[in-house]
Amino acid sequence: MDKIVVLDFGSQYSHLICRRIREFSVYAELVPYDISYDELQKLNPVGIIFSGGPSSVYNSDAPNPEGKIFEMNLPLLGICYGHQLIVNKFGGKVKRANKEYGSSLLTIDNDEDLLNGVGKSVRAWMSHGDEAEQIPKGFKVIGHTENAKAAAIASEEKSIYGIQFHPEVVHTEQGTEILKNFVLKVCGARQDWTMEGFIDSAVEKISRIDGNVLCGVSGGIDSTVVALLIHKAIGKRLKCVFVNNGLLRLNEEKEIEKMFKDNFKVDFTSINAVDKFLEKLKGIEDPERKRMIVGEEFIHVFSKFAETNGPFKWLAQGTLYPDVIESGVSKGPAAIIKSHHNVGGLPDWLNLEILEPLRELYKDEVRKIAKILGVPEKLFMRHPFPGPGLAVRIIGEVTPIKLSISKVASKIVEDELMEAGLYEKVWQAYAAVGDDRAVGVVGDERRYGNIVMIRVVDSVDAMTADWTRLSHGLLEKMSNRITNEIEDVTWVTYAISSKPPATIEPQ
């Protein structure tokens, strides 16, 4: 299939470029900026994109791609830092400028190719401190803002384009159309990246592995899709294990067992390990340590099961692209945001090989696969749930009281969203609790109780998220129920921080 390769120079938005391109059925892959010319040729791309990044091209340690990459005679698009690289490489001049962050009005000077059909002007998202002072010979300005006179440039002869703004973020109007113009019109890429094709390819690859597979299923969409793909490929050589770690949603362990037995013809085993997990988490407050402990304890349980029910060669997990990115083990120079138990928590002593069929996919792509595979809609439209469970929605030490509060309060939040017809319209919703307490009055008595934080966000891929503007009436209803139905809660707050700078989960 046709492929667009994105060279990652360290932008927080690098992976969003791939995500946006995949939206119009073209495969995009992220690689490190210092990939060799030979390795890049092996990928056989039909076009190349340089991502943004925090560096300045005139610094001595500025990241640069191998020089021969510019000579591949492939269409090239540079975004932000990538734009400045192109200017610098072809003889232009980049200078330090007034920092420009946020939305700016981009005026279109030429709409023949890259900016075709986007209108006379659009709001574009800027995030830069450098700009092109002088563009290279053979290039022309095709778009400008008040502060960036060469916000978009083009060498139509070479099919090379540079843009100072970020078309991959939702804040840029017509950003997807701009990327689509480059990928479909300039590169001529075929739209042959489909989830049906992915299923066929994944099943074919998995069918070639030897040995038995142990798949940890959580009841969530990711691990369920992994189990169904592997079962489709190797049948009875797969065993699915669900571990009740005590950190699940209210009564979730019963629902998961019933769902698998009623809907899927896979070998399914449920293990009660509540006491083991909660004992390991006693006294632990640091969120990274909690994530690592939960991940390692999962592996202990799986390894013990494998020893007595094996032999197994593989441990399958529902790892997704955002998990890999945030854990700092992606292909580019990404910083660690947080460890994911299925990525960052695997111990050295593990004697099972890891199988992660969804490692390159985003959540909405997994949902499409789930629908194709016949997963009940109630499951694939369910909100994402963190691998470490409520351990990362409980701030500070995990205690029985805080566990109970988080379970019941989160159920109230979900129930009220369903009642309002909003559950499937938001990305994620839950109630978190920490150690902060506040005074309340119940009846005529003073009560000193916990503070619960409601978190509801909108997103398309979990890479970025915005807090959901719920009505005051709905928030009031949630708050009243939580404080009335949970004895230990006196206050309810609502989180209004977006990602970034916040993350979706509190820990």
| Catalytic residue ranges | 80, 166, 168
Residue type (1 letter), 180: K
The DSSP H or E segment spanning 198 is helix 195-207
Between CA 62 and CA 195 the distance in angstroms is: 38
- Residue 394 is classified by DSSP as B
Give the integer Cα–Cα distance in Å for 489 and 129: 46
- The C-alpha atoms of residue 320 and residue 72 are separated, in whole angstroms, by 32
Here the tokens at position 296 are 């390692």
CB 432 within 8 A of CB 392: no
Structure tokens at 172: 């840029």
Beta bridge partners of 30: 6
Among 391, 395, 394, 401, residue whose Cα is nearest residue 278: 391
| Ordered DSSP codes for 275-321 | HHHHHHHTT---HHHHHHHHHHHHHHHHHHHHHHH----EEE----H
Close Cβ partners of 133 (under 8 Å, ≥ 6 residues apart)? 92, 93, 94, 95
Residue 373 structure tokens: 């595979």
